[in-house]
């Protein structure tokens, strides 16, 4: 009840502001066509003298470019802040960087406010703290952020209850359900009230302490002061466009007398910039996991275009757009190679389904989720996790769109080029001339050299023509690991910068572009992961480490975990395990210490390979050597890596050796390892060997012996009973079978070193002195 009276007061404040006072507060949700449309109507009707918009105040300078005739949305304001280095900075680590995006598209309420405001010659101004001040005020540490984030709304308990109650799936759907569905029939004042009430309730869940600590209060104070200043300077109406979360706090703050907080003076050593850059719908789409986003930008673009041509005679814009989309989607599936084409009848059915669902949910026309539900019902012919995935991904791609914005040429040097020049200068790389230079980097001893190496690796990974490695350790291919220096040759050419400009879309720094690129490759790996081996993924981890992107390496490692669970090849598991152990051992030059999951992954690989061991009993005889080497590797690892439970390995081997074997070499190898580890005692191993040697098939005994001697060489001279058994067996063979088995026997003894052969000969001499045995030794 307390809330209802408070809301009334608030709404009256908003209302009074719009009628008696000259300030109109407009609460928005970023990228909402409904808000954009109402702002458009409001500005056309009220013709305000000033439009104040939430957004870092230094964007104000960029407004002429934003409104430039050649500017096409989507574009973004990109702003960075690098705090001044600590005095004793010895280039030990990258300076802490903060970067923020502020994307605009045609239906962004802020952009509409600017465009319409310019038409009525209003004074346009951004009123938020600059990004530098925001970064200082906030105690959070996230490095790249969306300056329009709505985390408060998403975290609000009130809103999650509302989501549940209204049967929506998430906040986006709830917003569409409440606001996008009915805005056309609402008066602008009513629309403002609805949004404000919604945001007011959501704000009740945010403790003031939190708002204080993350800088929200400081930002709102700055905005309120800017409004006060405008109120005293400007005659005429003032429109204030801010995120609804802030709007509900502003009216009362503007009434108070506020004091400018003391801010630290700008340190000459700190760096900051605010520039415009091209943006794409792909980046804008929240589903892609970019920092600044919202779902299905192309969908809302079409909605916006449709609203612009709407009049009371035409169909509801949402209906028109849904109809267009469904026809479009079904037509596009017909020309898609991997999808079964959908007919016009399907499109009709889907439209009907969407309309009925919309009606059922109380929407005047199908909204985005109604459209998608129509697709789910009528376009998916099979299980959602099979056929459905393909269809839904295809549709998501269409609704996302591939629009890329454009900016006038005189906006200046793209930030990525600037970043390149700054870093190259910092690392003292020559970029004034296009003469080839070389640089020698000491990877193990000098942190700064490692950073230069990473910078060069990133450029190489982005295929920017600049540097190439002449010599050095290649961690990816596992070559030249004994080298401690890396020698690069580099040459700056005009192409270097022109390719950088091409890449500028994917990030405003080289790091961001490299992150984008690796993200793409990770997506690729995820999509086609099943066909690929874990080894390839591990190569990517090492690549990421070379570029100093340990965080992403970590992500790839989690992907590998999935591949391990599907990999059924014992030798590839062992290879992957070896590679990981290598990575863990060379973690210093690669700075892979942070990849804490490597030991876990090694454990997982170990468990998985132990699981596969009992099945190896049926592997072909040709594969035996590789498998036995694998056993030996595992045995070494179990001895050196404490976290591996040796019991698992030994019990797997015991299972293998107990099973009826079609590959005696492997059984022999397993017996050898079990004997060395003490799981089999001497009489047991002798009994096993005698069993195999006495087999009716002569070959089997010799093969078992080969396996046994490969994994446990010392048994040949330590266990005299074995020699006796072999001798007894030899004497039972006739000439023909002896000659038949000779090659296999020779193979069994061929790997001994001369000293070991001598030891065996001695042992033979001690327990017997039969000439035939001596012959055999000389043979090998």
Partner 1 sequence: MTPAKTLREPAEIRYAEELSALAAIDEAPKPSGWNLSPRAVRTFILGSDGKTLGSKSKKKTGTVISQKFYGDDALIDRAIITLAGNRGLMLVGEPGTAKSMLSELLAAAISGNSKNTIQGTAGTTEDQIKYSWNYALLLSQGASLQALVASPIFTAMKDGKLVRFEEITRCPPEIQDALVSILSDKVLHIPELGDETGTVFAQKGFNVIATANLRDRGVHEMSSALKRRFNFETVEPIRNKTLELQLVMAQTQALLTDAEATIELDMNVIDLLVTTFHDLREGRTEEGTIVEKPSTVMSTAEAVSVGVSAGLDARYFGNSVVESEHIVRNLVGTVLKDNPEDAKKLKHYFDVVVKSRARTKPEWEAFYHARKWLK
Q: Which two tokens stand for residue 647?
A: 């019991």
165 phi/psi in degrees, rounded to 5: -65, -35
Cα 379 to the chain's mean position, in Å?
A: 30
Question: What's the min distance (Å) between Cβ of 343 and partner 1?
Answer: 7
User: Is 726 one of the binding residues for partner 1 (CB under 8 A)?
Assistant: no
- Which DSSP letter does residue 288 get? G
H helices of 677-753, in order, are 682-693, 698-711, 715-718, 720-732, 735-750
User: Is 377 one of the binding residues for partner 1 (CB under 8 A)?
Assistant: yes
Residue 413: CB partners within 8 Å, gap ≥ 6?
none
Binding to partner 1 in span 595-614, by CB under 8 A = 600, 604, 607-608, 611, 614
List 260, 385, 482, 734, residue binding partner 1 (CB under 8 A): 385
Query: Nearest-CA neighbor of 239 among 6, 53, 98, 2?
Result: 53
Tokens 């970064």 appear where? Answer: 135
List 72, 336, 376, 770, residue binding partner 1 (CB under 8 A): 376
Tokens 């209060």 appear where? Answer: 217
List 369, 419, 486, 497, residue binding partner 1 (CB under 8 A): 369
Query: Nearest-CA neighbor of 461 among 501, 418, 518?
Result: 518
Question: What's the min distance (Å) between Cβ of 209 and partner 1?
Answer: 30
User: Is 340 one of the binding residues for partner 1 (CB under 8 A)?
Assistant: yes
Question: What's the min distance (Å) between Cβ of 247 and partner 1?
Answer: 31
Q: Which two tokens stand for residue 674?
A: 């079990």
Binding to partner 1 in span 153-172, by CB under 8 A = 165, 167, 169
Question: What's the min distance (Å) between Cβ of 349 and partner 1?
Answer: 6
Cα distances (angstroms) measured from residue 499 to each of 301, 400, 436, 459, 494: 30, 26, 18, 10, 9
Query: Nearest-CA neighbor of 759 among 724, 727, 719, 729?
Result: 719
List 214, 285, 373, 703, residue binding partner 1 (CB under 8 A): 373
Smaller CB distance to partner 1: residue 651 or 695? 651
Continuous segment of H or E residues that includes residue 608? helix 597-612
List 360, 446, 621, 662, residue binding partner 1 (CB under 8 A): 360
Residues pairing with 51 in the sheet: 124, 239
Q: What does the alpha-carbon distance between residue 25 and residue 10 come to, in Å, rounded to a whole number? A: 11
- Which DSSP letter does residue 746 get? H
Smaller CB distance to partner 1: residue 386 or 435? 386
Angle ∠(624,628,630) on CA atoms, nearest 5: 120
User: Is 532 one of the binding residues for partner 1 (CB under 8 A)?
Assistant: no
Q: Read out DSSP for 366-414?
A: --HHHHHHHHHHHT--S-TTTHHHHHHHHHHHHHH---B-B--GGG-S-
Tell me the per-residue interface mask from 613 to 652 with partner 1, x by CB under 8 A, - otherwise.
-x---------------------------------x--x-
Smaller CB distance to partner 1: residue 140 or 565? 565
Smaller CB distance to partner 1: residue 288 or 377? 377
Tell me the per-residue interface mask from 560 to 599 with partner 1, x by CB under 8 A, - otherwise.
-xx-xx----------------------------------
Smaller CB distance to partner 1: residue 471 or 594? 594
Question: What's the min distance (Å) between Cβ of 653 and partner 1?
Answer: 14
Tokens 């001697």 appear where? Answer: 709
User: Is 383 one of the binding residues for partner 1 (CB under 8 A)?
Assistant: yes
Q: Which stretch binds partner 1 (CB under 8 A): 374-382, 459-467, 584-592, 724-732?
A: 374-382
Smaller CB distance to partner 1: residue 476 or 561? 561
Question: What's the min distance (Å) between Cβ of 338 and partner 1?
Answer: 16
Question: What's the min distance (Å) between Cβ of 621 and partner 1?
Answer: 24
Q: Which stretch binds partner 1 (CB under 8 A): 183-191, 235-243, 337-345, 421-429?
A: 337-345
Q: How many helices (H) and strands (E) does the chain have?
A: 38, 11
Query: Can you give the length of the chain in residues?
Result: 780
Binding to partner 1 in span 386-415, by CB under 8 A = 386, 388
- Which DSSP letter does residue 280 get? B
Q: Which stretch binds partner 1 (CB under 8 A): 186-194, 270-278, 354-362, 618-626?
A: 354-362
Residue 684: CB partners within 8 Å, gap ≥ 6?
none
Smaller CB distance to partner 1: residue 520 or 568? 568
Size of the site for partner 1 (CB under 8 A): 39
Strands 50-56 and 238-243: parallel
Q: Which residues bind partner 1 (CB under 8 A)?
A: 165, 167, 169, 340, 343, 345-346, 349, 352-353, 356-357, 360-361, 369, 373, 376-378, 380-386, 388, 561-562, 564-565, 600, 604, 607-608, 611, 614, 648, 651
């Amino acid at each position: 009840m307390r809330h209802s009276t408070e809301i009334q007061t608030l709404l009256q404040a908003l209302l009074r502001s719009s009628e008696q006072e000259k300030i109109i507060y407009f609460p928005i949700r970023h990228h909402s066509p409904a808000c954009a449309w109402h702002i458009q109507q409001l500005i056309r009707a009220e013709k305000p003298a000033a439009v104040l918009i939430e957004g870092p105040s230094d964007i104000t300078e960029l407004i002429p470019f934003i409104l430039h005739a050649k500017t096409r949305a989507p574009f973004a304001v990109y702003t960075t802040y690098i705090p001044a280095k600590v005095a004793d900075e010895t280039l030990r680590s990258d300076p802490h960087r903060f970067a923020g995006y502020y994307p605009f598209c045609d239906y962004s309420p802020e952009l509409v406010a600017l465009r319409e405001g310019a038409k009525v010659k209003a004074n346009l101004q951004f009123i938020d703290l600059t990004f530098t001040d925001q970064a200082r005020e906030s105690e959070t540490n996230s490095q790249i952020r969306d300056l329009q984030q709505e985390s408060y709304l998403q975290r609000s308990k009130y809103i999650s209850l509302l989501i549940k109650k209204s049967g929506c799936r998430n906040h986006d759907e709830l917003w569409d359900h409440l606001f996008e569905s009915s805005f056309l029939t609402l008066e602008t004042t009513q629309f403002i009230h609805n949004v404000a009430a919604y945001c007011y309730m959501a704000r009740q869940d945010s403790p003031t302490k939190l708002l204080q600590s993350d800088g929200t209060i400081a930002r709102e104070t700055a905005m309120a002061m800017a409004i006060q200043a405008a109120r005293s300077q400007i005659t005429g109406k003032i429109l204030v466009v801010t995120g609804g979360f802030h709007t509900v706090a502003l009216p009362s703050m503007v009434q108070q007398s506020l004091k400018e907080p003391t801010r630290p003076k700008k340190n000459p050593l700190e760096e900051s910039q605010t520039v415009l850059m091209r943006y794409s719908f792909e980046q804008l789409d929240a589903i892609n996991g970019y920092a600044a986003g919202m779902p299905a930008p192309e969908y809302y673009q079409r909605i916006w275009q449709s609203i612009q041509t709407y009049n009371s005679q035409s169909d509801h814009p949402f209906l028109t757009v849904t109809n267009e989309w469904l026809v479009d989607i079904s037509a596009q599936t017909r020309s898609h190679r991997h999808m079964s084409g959908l007919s016009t009848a399907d499109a009709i059915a889907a439209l009907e389904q969407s309309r009925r669902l919309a009606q059922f949910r109380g929407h005047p026309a199908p909204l985005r989720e109604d459209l998608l539900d129509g697709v789910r019902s009528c376009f998916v012919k099979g299980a959602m996790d099979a056929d459905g995935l393909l269809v839904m991904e295809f549709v998501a791609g269409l609704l996302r769109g591939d629009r890329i914005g454009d900016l006038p040429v005189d906006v200046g040097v793209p930030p990525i080029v600037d970043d390149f020049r700054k870093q190259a200068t910092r690392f003292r790389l020559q970029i004034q001339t296009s003469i080839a230079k070389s640089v020698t980097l000491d990877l193990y001893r000098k942190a700064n050299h490692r950073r230069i190496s990473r910078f060069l690796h990133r450029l190489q990974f982005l295929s920017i023509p600049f540097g190439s490695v002449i010599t050095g350790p290649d961690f990816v291919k596992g070559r030249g690991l004994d080298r401690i220096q890396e020698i690069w040759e580099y040459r700056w050419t005009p192409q270097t910068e022109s390719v950088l400009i091409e890449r500028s879309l994917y990030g405003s720094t080289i790091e961001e572009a490299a992150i984008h690129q690796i993200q793409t490759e990770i997506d690729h790996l995820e999509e086609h992961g099943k066909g690929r081996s874990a080894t390839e993924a591990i190569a990517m981890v090492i690549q990421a480490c070379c570029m100093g992107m340990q965080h992403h390496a970590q992500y790839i490692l989690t992907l590998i975990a999935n591949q391990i669970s599907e990999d059924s090849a014992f030798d590839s598991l062992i290879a992957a395990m070896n590679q990981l152990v290598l990575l863990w051992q060379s973690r210093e030059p690669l700075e892979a210490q942070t990849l804490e999951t490597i030991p876990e992954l090694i454990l997982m690989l170990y468990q998985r390979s132990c699981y596969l061991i009992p099945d190896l009993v049926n592997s072909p005889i040709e594969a035996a050597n590789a498998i036995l080497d694998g056993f030996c590797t595992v045995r070494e690892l179990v001895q050196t890596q404490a976290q591996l439970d040796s019991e698992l390995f030994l019990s797997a081997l015991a299972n293998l050796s107990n099973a009826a074997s079609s590959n005696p070499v492997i059984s022999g190898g397993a017996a050898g390892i079990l004997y060395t580890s003490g799981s089999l005692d001497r009489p047991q191993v002798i009994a096993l060997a005698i069993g195999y040697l006495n087999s009716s098939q002569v070959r089997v005994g010799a093969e078992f012996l080969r396996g046994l001697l490969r994994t446990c060489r010392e048994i040949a001279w330590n266990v005299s009973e074995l020699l006796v058994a072999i001798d007894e067996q030899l004497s039972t063979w006739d000439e023909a079978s002896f000659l038949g088995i000779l090659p296999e026997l020779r193979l069994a003894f061929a790997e001994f070193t001369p000293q070991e052969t001598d030891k065996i000969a001695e042992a033979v001499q001690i327990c017997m002195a039969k000439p035939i045995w001596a012959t055999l030794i000389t043979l090998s």
